[in-house]
Structure 1
Amino acid sequence: MFRDGALRTGGDLLTVRNPWNGEIVGSVPADTPDEVAEAVGDVRAAWRPPRPHQRAAVLRRSAALLRERAGELSVLISRESGVCVTETRRETERAAANLTVAAEEAERLRGEGIPVPGHDRLAVTVLEPVGIVAALTPFNRPLNQVVVKIAPAVAAGCAIVVKPSERTPLTALAFAGLLIEAGLPPGHLVVTTGPPGTIGPALAGHPEIDMITFTGSVATGRAVALAGAGRRLLLELGGNDPLIVLPGGDLGLAVRLAAEGAFATAGQSCRGVKRVIAVGETADVVAAGLVEAARRKRAGDPLDPSTDLGPLVSEESAAGVERRIADAVAAGAKLLCGGERRGALLTPAVLDHVPPDAELVAEETFGPVAPVIRVDSVDEAIAVANGTPYGLQAGVVTSDAAAFSRIAAELRVGAVNLNAGPQFDSPHIPFGGVKASGMGREGIRYAIREMSVTKTLTFPYP
């Protein structure tokens, strides 16, 4: 366990393996619920919120250190997650940008003055940290998923206990050391590694935890919410994000957005393109363009700079996506290219004429797949897009402003992007969904507010 500014060894160990070749990348302690309880108690005793300018200084210094060590960290991310190094280099820069924005927002925390009608008093509101935040993070993007939870917590003045995925814990531990070096008080941060079935409930249910922020599956998120009942929750539970393509739009742009969104990170992204909903005659052009884009992708060794697409996080995950592709084909879809599996590696697949109720598109599929669903009208596109339990983000490619306005109003999602894919993101804007996609909003400024409480002070006028 990482606590008091250093990694403590443990008895039992968890082995971390490279999904590409099975090599052992490292080992981490298999922490126990009792150790977690002790660590959380120590954090409560040590926590004293730093001043906003002190928080900002830590975040700026950590961003600088991260940029200095970007090469080293990008290789570590690739080795433990299987994501190709060209993408992990971008992930380190994205994480540094989040830290920089968090530093700026730490100095912008504002309350307000409220004259109280009917009373000769002035009310003033101030933002205070919610307390100890428990952050449970997934395997994909193991650096940035940790940063988007730690950075706003630090900016808000909270202490934080992080439980990274047991598949990709090494990056979180490396970043924890960097934060301490940047000046974060050692007693304000714990990183616990261990089996999720025992450590997750022990952390979420600990009485000293004030808030839980979680990214992962719907089933696990609901279990976390039950364990943490009565605490503040910020849940990001995935998506089944559509890219809707309308006639008259830029079809070259649509193909590019669909390919980038479907194949990046080997398709293992909650905001990636999971469904391409093509209206009318756009489907032929989009499907053909996706085949060309998929065939240009080179799948292989993630540490090779010429690789575009690495393996999935495990062979089991790749086999599950392979099965969903086969089931969709059995239900009438046409496999135009790809979908060939070798261990955890799956070549980028393009399918056409996919039935909207096929599991491949009815559920969230974490893999390099671009499924094209053909529809005849905007009405049908909206119905298909809304026809899953998820509601995270969506993209629409069109030149028709009225059609976009209507689609944006009727889609039940957290964000709709015109002539951009659902994968569009920025640290400056809110991120989160509706329905089974979760509750609350990430995005640095918005996550800081989630991790803050409003206190009201009232004064008599002189």
Structure 2
Amino acid sequence: MKKSLLINGEWIGTDQYTTLYSPFSGEAIAEIPTATEKETNQAIEAAYQTRNQMAKMPAHQRAKILESLSQLLEQKAEEAAQILALEAAKPITTAKSEVFRTIETYKFAAEEAKRIHGETLPLDAAQGGEGRIAYTTREPIGVIGAITPFNFPMNLVAHKIGPAIAAGNTIVLKPASQTPLSAFFIAELLQEAGLPNGALNVVTGSGIVVGDQIVSDERVNMITFTGSPNVGIDIRNKAGLKRVTLELGSNAGVIIDKGVDIDKIISRCVTGAFSNQGQVCISLQRVYAHEEIYNEFVEKFIEATNKLTVGNPLDPETDLSALISSNDIHRTVEWIREAREGGADIATGGEVTGNILYPTVILNAEPSLKVSCQEVFAPIVLINKVRSIEEAFELVNDSRYGLQAGIYTENVHTALDAAEKLHVGGVMINDIPTFRVDHMPYGGVKESGFGREGLKYAIEEMTELKLVVWNRN
């Protein structure tokens, strides 16, 4: 299966192609075009030339395109899930869930397209403001460069191109090298849904060539990126005065207070730790359990972990499959070895078969270990004992990251303290930090990035605020 770039509504080939392999089986699944500066420039120019057409398109028409896209995706949901399972080794049940969320994300985008508005301002509140009328409007920012990761290749693309289209912008999309098939699939559906030629351009290739050109080109008005902190910081440094939204790393924590019904939360915590092989920005990586319930929690968590089914992503029974690459296997095995040598206990897991790392539970890990302080992005979870909730707050906050955190407690005062004291973008009370629905504001602090996704909030990032003042004097 040989794929093509989408530039100005046409599918074009390139001189060079790379073979895309299944992370699970290692089999070749597609030939992916490698764009050069020439094709990237053509894609940016197409978006630049189409920006006025998109800006003038009525809101109801932008909404209709997005509604049509969600309907087409609903009709082809099974095919879309198969693509995700194949290119990302995402267990098919999890893949179907992502497709469902993607459909909903585009529906939210369609709805928000009709709600982009400003406000009136009472200028006579200031001396000298008498006899004047003021109001604000929101205008599309122009060309948006979108760079997306492999872990939710369909829904995280939707979180960039959905609000971009809703706001009347044009897009140059660079999907992750391992997961371009889902991006090409969506692009085909958008053509069918009536999106004008040049409004969406999909360019695959090297981050150094394609990504850098998108970030540095003056015709691109905004960069929206989801990925690693190192790349995010590099983008920020190169972007100049462009608007930038960065969704970066995390090592999300949950606090388990005494008095919590452990049986009620175990399944949820296991899902948070191991869904999509832990390759989730808000995957549950650190658990801080109160000493009164620590032993019970650990015992039941390990028991539930050992019941998970590991195997072929296309098998509906599979809970966990392969990590995205062999490099990630080597990295995580090395981190587990460091943890063991650093005095931590590997309570279960740690074994590898092919590109599969079995779900791993680590106890008594020091905060300085890589599995504690960096983002594992793998099926690894730490469970640590705390003497007090205040200690747990300090440990969750003792991190370079701050995307989301959770707390389970029966005490309303403790819950309110958590909401106030946890230094993260989102606090989940009586839930895992892995909770996300697609219209909520989503983003973090510290090295987790800045700006917010979630359709309404992304549209605010992707539009410029204009002030209009009438002088009636």
Sort the TM-score into its range (normalised by shorter chain): over 0.9
2:101 is the counterpart of 1:94: yes
Task: Please show how residues 72-91 of structure 1 align to structure 2 within 5 Å.
Answer: 72-91=79-98
Partner of 1:46: 50
Q: 1:7, CA displacement in angstroms?
A: 2.1
Give the secondary-structure state (helix, strand or coil) at the position aligned to 1:385. Answer: helix
Separation in 1 of the partners of 2:236 and 2:466? 25
Contact 1:250/1:397, CA 8 A, preserved across alignment = no
Match of 2:22 in 1: 18
Give per-residue Cα distances to partners, 1:143-195, cap 9 Å, x unaligned. 11111111011111110110001111111011111111111112111111001
Query: How far did 1:225 drift?
Result: 1.1
Unaligned stretches of 5+ residues in structure 2: none
- Quick one: distance in 1 between partners of 2:155 and 2:435? 15
Equivalent of 1:178 in 171, 174, 189: 189
Is 1:114 aligned with 2:125? no
Find the counterpart in structure 2 of residue 69 from structure 1. Answer: 76
Q: Distance in 2 between matches of 1:432 and 1:150?
A: 17
What is the SS of the residue equivalent to 1:370? strand
Quote the residue 1:219 is aligned against.
230
Q: CA deviation at 1:343?
A: 1.8
Map 1:186-225 onto structure 2 (within 5 A).
186-225=197-236
Alignment check: 8 A CA contact 1:85 1:302 kept? yes
Indicate whether 1:230 and 2:237 are aligned. Answer: no
The one-letter code matched in structure 2 to 1:3 is I
Name the residue aligned to 2:141: 130
Contact kept, 8 Å, 2:287 with 2:382, in 1: the verdict is: yes
Off by >3 Å, runs of 4+ in structure 1: none
Report what 1:271 is aligned to. 282
Is residue 8–residue 43 contact of structure 2 (8 Å, CA) maintained in 1? no
Partner of 2:37: 33
* Alpha carbons 1:20, 1:302 under 8 Å: kept: yes
In structure 2, how many angstroms separate the alpha carbons of the residues matched to 1:385 and 1:233?
27
Which structure 1 segments of 5+ residues have no match?
none
**1:105 and 2:121 are equivalent in the alignment:** no
Which residue matches 1:414?
Answer: 425
Corresponding residue for 2:328? 317
DSSP-derived class of the 1:28 partner:
strand
What is the CA-CA distance between 1:391 and the residue it aligns to? Answer: 0.3
Partner deviation per Cα, 1:39-65 (whole Å, 9 max, x = no partner): 211221122222111110011100001
2:21–2:27 CA contact under 8 A, matched in 1: yes
Cα root mean square deviation, aligned:
1.2
Going from structure 1 to structure 2, the CA distance change for 1:361 and 1:254 (only over 3 Å counts) comes to farther
Taking the aligned partners of 1:250 and 1:461, their CA distance within structure 2 comes to 65
1:360 to 362, 365, 371: 371
1:291 is paired with a residue whose SS is helix
SS of equivalent to 2:320: coil
SS at match of 2:378: coil
Does the 8 Å CA contact 1:389/1:436 hold for their aligned counterparts?
yes
1:213 and 1:127 map into 2 onto residues whose CA distance is: 19
User: What do the CA deviations read for 1:215-266 (whole angstroms, capped 9, x no partner)?
Assistant: 0000001111112121001000021100111101222233223211110000
Tell me if structure 1 keeps the 8 A contact 2:7–2:42: no
Displacement after TM superposition at 1:410 (Å): 1.1
Residues 134-145 of structure 1 mapped to structure 2, 5 A cutoff: 134-145=145-156
Q: Deviations over 1:361-389 (max 9, x none)?
A: 11110111121022111121111101110
Matched, 1:334 2:345: yes
Please give the alpha-carbon distance, in whole angstroms, between the structure 2 residues aligned to 1:232 and 1:110. Answer: 20
SS in 2 for 1:432: coil
Aligned amino acid, residue 281 of structure 2: C
Letter of the 1:89 partner, please give it. K
Identity across the alignment (%)? 36
Preserved CA contact (<8 Å) 1:106 1:156: yes
Which stretch of the first structure deviates more once superposed, 133-142 or 2-11?
2-11
TM-score, normalization: structure 2? 0.96
Scaled by the length of structure 1, what TM-score is found? 0.98
Report the 3-state secondary structure (helix = DSSP H, G, I; strand = E; otherwise coil) of the residue aligned with 1:238.
Answer: coil
Distance 1:382 1:31 in 2: 47
Secondary structure of the 1:296 match is coil
SS in 2 for 1:417: strand
SS at match of 1:7: strand
Name the aligned partner's letter for residue 37 of structure 1: N
Which residue identity is paired with 2:254? L
Contact between 1:266 and 1:312, CA under 8 Å: does it hold in 2?
yes
